[in-house]
Chains A and B, each alone.
Chain A
C-alpha cells in the first residue's frame, strides 16, 4: 500500500468516531468520499433511479445508525460496502422479481468519472451507451457473479475483503470474477461486432 493511500485510510477510520462525538463535518466528509462509489455500485446493481435514491439514503442511514459498531482498527470501505451489499440484497429479496429491471435513463448520468478529462459531448454519448450496455450485460450475469464483480471493482476493496463481505471463500470469489469478466468480454465483442456490422456500407 502506498503512503498516500495509507494516510487516506487512516483518516477515513476516524470519521465515524468524530461523528459520534458530535463533529458535524465528519459525516459530511464520509458522504462526500463515498457518495460516488456507493451510487455507482447501486447503478451497477441494475436498479431504477427511484430505488437507487431510496437505497442510497437507506445505506447512509444505516451507516449512521451502526456507527458505534464500527471498529476503527479495520478499514472503513469494507464495512461500508458490507452495509451497502446487505441493503441491496434485502431490497431485492423483498421485491418481486419483475421489478428488478433495468430502466436506465441516459439523462440520469450526472457525472462521468473518466480517466483522462471531462468528457466531450461525443465522449459523453459514448459513455452513456457504454453504461447502458454494461448495465444490461451485468443483469444477464448470475447474481453471485455480478455481486462479486461489482464489489471487486470498487477502488480500495481487495478480493479478500470482498470474500468476507459476501461470506464466501476467496477462491470462489475469484472464480465468480473470472467468469463474470469472461462473459462481459464476450458480450462486448458481440456488441462491437454488431456495431461494425451496422456501420458497414
Chain B
C-alpha cells in the first residue's frame, strides 16, 4: 500500500489527535519525512480544532427550560415517556411497556406552554436558575421542590414520624398513569406559595430529642387533600408549619450535649493528652489507649500539659532543633499518681478505643467545667504504666494496658491485683528517647561519604521465599501462628496510583526546612507506585521444567509426591497453546516429557520412571538445564510477550560443583528472554536457589506441602500478566552541595555486577521493542545514582531511602524514572524534583511519612537483632532490645502528636508490648516455643520492611 495513502487514511480516521496514541506516532513518523503528508496532517489538525469549537445556548433559554421542567415536576405533570416509533434509545429495556400519550403531542405542547406561562408569572422570582449561573456549584433556591405533592423534607419527616405514630399513613407509590385536576393543581400552587411565605417553626424539639406529635394524618380535617384521580394521595397540612430540621453539626453537639459520666468508673476519670485537639475533632477518635491517665476527682489539681501552641512549636522546628530543645521536655513532665488502672483486653482492639474515646471526651468536658481556665489550657501528660508493671505475670494471660474497653472499662480486680503487688506507676513518659534517636539521625560525627553515581543494587524484590517458608511454618501453629501473621503489616505509603501511566515516582524528605549555612543530615525518600489494574488473560506459556532428583537427602517417595502435585497443578492450569516439557537429572534422565506431550498419562509414566531410576549414566543438573534450555528456545515464540518462555528448576538438593556454571547459564538465558524461576521442595539449598532466581530474573519459591502446589503454579503462570512496567531505570541526581552517606539497604555495584545489569536491561529493551513495538532506547549510562528494576508489578509500592547531608538551601535532588510502560505500550518518563528553603514551616504529612518509614526500618532491624540474640540463647539482651524499642515508640508518639491518631504506629507499639510480655515469660528450655518466637520475630522484621506483597 502506498505509504502516503495509508497515512492519509489514518489521518482521516482520527477525531482528536492524541500524541500518545499509536496511530499518531505512525503518522508522525511518516510525516517527518514526507512534506505532503505533513501538510495534510496540519490541515487535519486545524479542521479538528475547528470542529471542537463549541457554542453555548443563551442563559435565558436555559433558565426558562429548567424552570418549566421543574414546574412540571412540581405540579406532578409527569407525562409518560413515549418511546417513539423511531426511538433508538439503547437503554430501552423489556420491562418498559410502551405507553401512549393520553394527550396528543400538540395538546401537550399547549399544556406545557400554559404551565410555562404560569410558572414564569408566579414562580420565576422564587425558582430562578439565574442563581445557578455558570458556577460549578448550584446555589439553592429558597423554595422546596415538590414531587408528587410532597416535599423532600416532608417525606423524610414523615418517615421519622411513622416510627412514633402509626396513625400516619403513607401515600402509596404513585402509578405512572394518573390524571390531575388542573384547577386543583393551580390551587395547590397558590397554597404552597402562601406556605412558603409563612414563617417556619420547628416542631421537632431537637434539644430535648422528643419528636412533636405527628401533624399529618389522613383523617386530619384541618388538612387539605389534593383530590386526584389515580393511585396516590397527597396530604398537605395547611395549618401547622412544616418542621424544619436543624443542621446537626459539631457545633450543635458541642453546645447542647450533656456530658455523661460513666457510672462504672466511679471516681475515676480518664484523661487523654492531646484532647485539646480531639475535642475539636469528634470523628477523629484515637486508639491511643496508651495515653491513659487517671485522676482522682477528689484531689483534683490543675493539670499541665503541652498546649496546641507548644505542640505547633515543636512541629515548626526542624528535627535538629528538637533534639536540642530542653524547655519542651520540662513542660511535658506530669502529674499524678494513678488511683486505679484499667486492664484492657488485648482482643478489644481499636474499635473499643474509639467507642470509649467518645465517652472519654464527654467526661473530659465534665471535668473541664471544674478546672480553672489555666488548667483547661494545659492538659496533663499521658501517664504510661511502667514496663515492669506490664510485664508482671498474671497467670499467663496477656493483659495489656492499652485502651479502655468500650463501655465497660472497669476491671477493678485485676487493677487491684497489680496494686496489691505494691507496684506504683512512677515512670513518666517523656520524649527523651525520641530526642536521642532524632539526634542520632542528625549526627554528623564519624560519617563517611559515598560516590553519588554509578549503579546501585535494586531493592525491589517481589516475594521472598525464605519468608514464605517461615510463613508456612508459623501457620502450622494453630493457636498463635495466624495471630502473628495478622499482627504485622508494612506501612501503607501515601502515594496516589497513577491514572494515565503505569508508574509514578514521588520524592520527599524528612525535613520541611533547612538551616541556612549549616549542614543538615536528612533522609530523602524516592517512592514508586504502580498502577493497579485487573489481571488479564495470560499469554500462552512455553515452560521448561527441570527436576533435580539426584543425591536427594529427603525421602524420595515424599519428594516425588510433591513433584507430582506440582505437575498436576500445571496440568490443571494448562491452556490451549501452552507447551510444557520435563527434563530430569540422574539415571535415565534427560527429556522425559516433550512439550507437546504434557498429559496425565505421560506424567504418570515419567514419575514411575523417576521412582525406579538407577544411578548409572546419570545426567547432571547442568546438562539437564542445557537440554531444557535448548528445548525451550526451540519452541520459543519470539513475538510472544516477555516471560512467556520460562525455565523452572525444581530441586531439593544442594548445588555444589556446578553452581557457578548454572548461575551463568541462568543469567545468559535471562538475557535471551527466557527467565528462570526456582521451586524448592525443601529448605536445604534455599540460598543457592535464591541466587539462581535472581540471576535468572525469575522468582524463588518454596513448596512446603502438596497443597501449596496450585498457588505456586498460579503465581508463576500469572507473573507475566501482572507486570505493568519493565526495565525501570531510576536516575537520582543530588544537587551541588548535597553529599551521599548511603542508599539504605542497597549497595554500590562493582563493574562486573553493573555490566550484568546493563546486559539485562538491554535484553529487555530489545525484546520489548520486537514484541510490543516499544522503541528501544537503552544502552547509555547516566549520571547520578542509577538503579535498574527489571519488572514492576501491578499495585506494588516501593520506597528507596537515601541518607544525605545538605549544606545549601535550594535544589536538593531530582529523580527521573524511565520505563517501558506495558499498559500504554510506550517509553515513559516521569520526573520529580525537591527543593527546600529556610522559611519556617511545619512538618507536613509527607515529611512525617518519611520519618515513619525510617522508624519502620529501625523497628525491623531491632526486631531482627532480637531474633538473632534469641537464636544465640541471649534472651535478656533480646528483651532489652525490645523494651528499648518500645520506649522509643512511646516517646516518638509524644514527640509527634500527629501520630496519636496513627493506627500503624499504635499497632507496632502494641505488638512490641505483646512480645515483651511473651519473651519475659519464655523459658529457653522450651525449644519449640523459642523456635516459634525466633521465627515470629524474623517474620515480623521482614514484613515490616517490605512494601511488596508476599
Binding site for B on A (CB under 8 A): 2-4, 19-25, 27-29, 31-32, 35-40, 43-44, 53, 56-57, 60-62, 64-71, 74, 78-79, 82-83, 85-86, 89-90, 108-115, 127, 130-131, 133-134, 149, 152-153, 164-167, 174, 177-179, 181-182, 184-185, 188-189
Q: Which of A2, A36, A74, A115 contacts B499 (CB 8 A)?
A: A2
Which residues of chain B are within 8 angstroms of A82 by Cβ–Cβ distance? 88-90
**Which chain B residue lies CB-closest to A114?**
B53
Listed A/B pairs (29) with beta-carbon separation below 8 Å: A2-B500, A22-B145, A22-B152, A24-B145, A25-B140, A27-B70, A36-B57, A39-B55, A39-B57, A40-B53, A43-B55, A53-B58, A56-B61, A57-B64, A57-B68, A60-B66, A64-B73, A66-B89, A71-B93, A74-B90, A79-B91, A110-B56, A114-B53, A130-B50, A134-B50, A165-B90, A177-B13, A181-B13, A185-B44
| B54 interface residue (CB < 8 Å to A) | yes
In the complex, the answer to whether B90 meets A153 with C-beta atoms within 8 Å is no
Which of B62, B64, B134 has its CB near the most chain A CB atoms (within 10 A)?
B62
In the complex, the answer to whether A21 meets B53 with C-beta atoms within 8 Å is no
CB distance from B926 to the nearest CB of A (A): 53
In the complex, the answer to whether B62 meets A69 with C-beta atoms within 8 Å is no
In the complex, the answer to whether A65 meets B79 with C-beta atoms within 8 Å is yes
A32 and B132 in contact (CB under 8 A), knowing A25-B140, A39-B56? yes
CB distance from A139 to the nearest CB of B (A): 14
Which residues of chain B are within 8 angstroms of A19 by Cβ–Cβ distance? 73
How many residues on chain B are close to A (CB under 8 Å)?
Answer: 64
Which residues of chain B are within 8 angstroms of A2 by Cβ–Cβ distance? 499-500
| B12 interface residue (CB < 8 Å to A) | yes
**Which chain B residue lies CB-closest to A157?**
B15
Which of A57, A85, A178 has its CB near the most chain B CB atoms (within 10 A)?
A57
Which residues of chain B are within 8 angstroms of A109 by Cβ–Cβ distance? 55
Other than the given A111-B54, A153-B48, 4 more pairs (CB < 8 A) read: A2-B499, A56-B61, A114-B53, A131-B55
In the complex, the answer to whether B138 meets A37 with C-beta atoms within 8 Å is no
Binding site for A on B (CB under 8 A): 9, 12-13, 15-16, 40, 43-44, 46-58, 61-62, 64-66, 68-70, 72-73, 78-84, 86-93, 96, 112, 129, 132, 134, 138, 140-141, 145-148, 151-152, 155, 176, 499-500
CB distance from A126 to the nearest CB of B (A): 10
Q: Which of B52, B58, B96 contacts A153 (CB 8 A)?
A: B52
A167 and B88 in contact (CB under 8 A), knowing A39-B55, A65-B81? yes
The 9 residue pairs across chains A and B that have the minimum distance between CB atoms: A22-B147, A24-B145, A113-B54, A3-B499, A66-B81, A39-B57, A111-B56, A40-B54, A178-B12
**Which chain B residue lies CB-closest to A153?**
B51
**Which chain B residue lies CB-closest to A134?**
B50
Docked CA distance A79–B90 (Å): 7
Which residues of chain A are within 8 angstroms of B47 by Cβ–Cβ distance? 181, 184-185, 188
Docked CA distance A179–B82 (Å): 35
Q: Which of B9, B62, B86 contacts A31 (CB 8 A)?
A: B62
Which residues of chain B are within 8 angstroms of A22 by Cβ–Cβ distance? 73, 145-148, 151-152, 155
CB distance from A2 to the nearest CB of B (A): 5
In the complex, the answer to whether B88 meets A40 with C-beta atoms within 8 Å is no
Docked CA distance A150–B246 (Å): 49
Q: Which of B49, B84, B86, B129 contacts A28 (CB 8 A)?
A: B129
Which residues of chain A are within 8 angstroms of B53 by Cβ–Cβ distance? 40, 112-114, 127, 130-131, 134
Which residues of chain A are within 8 angstroms of B93 by Cβ–Cβ distance? 69, 71
Docked CA distance A68–B83 (Å): 12
A110 and B141 in contact (CB under 8 A), knowing A3-B499, A28-B132? no
Q: Which of A57, A69, A78 contacts B92 (CB 8 A)?
A: A69
Q: Which of B44, B56, B141 contacts A181 (CB 8 A)?
A: B44
Docked CA distance A36–B62 (Å): 10
In the complex, the answer to whether A24 meets B84 with C-beta atoms within 8 Å is no
**Which chain A residue lies CB-closest to B131?**
A28
Which of B57, B58, B140, B499 has its CB near the most chain A CB atoms (within 10 A)?
B57
In the complex, the answer to whether A53 meets B61 with C-beta atoms within 8 Å is yes
In the complex, the answer to whether A164 meets B90 with C-beta atoms within 8 Å is yes
Which residues of chain A are within 8 angstroms of B80 by Cβ–Cβ distance? 65
In the complex, the answer to whether B88 meets A69 with C-beta atoms within 8 Å is no
In the complex, the answer to whether B65 meets A60 with C-beta atoms within 8 Å is yes
CB distance from B2 to the nearest CB of A (A): 16
Which residues of chain A are within 8 angstroms of B83 by Cβ–Cβ distance? 69
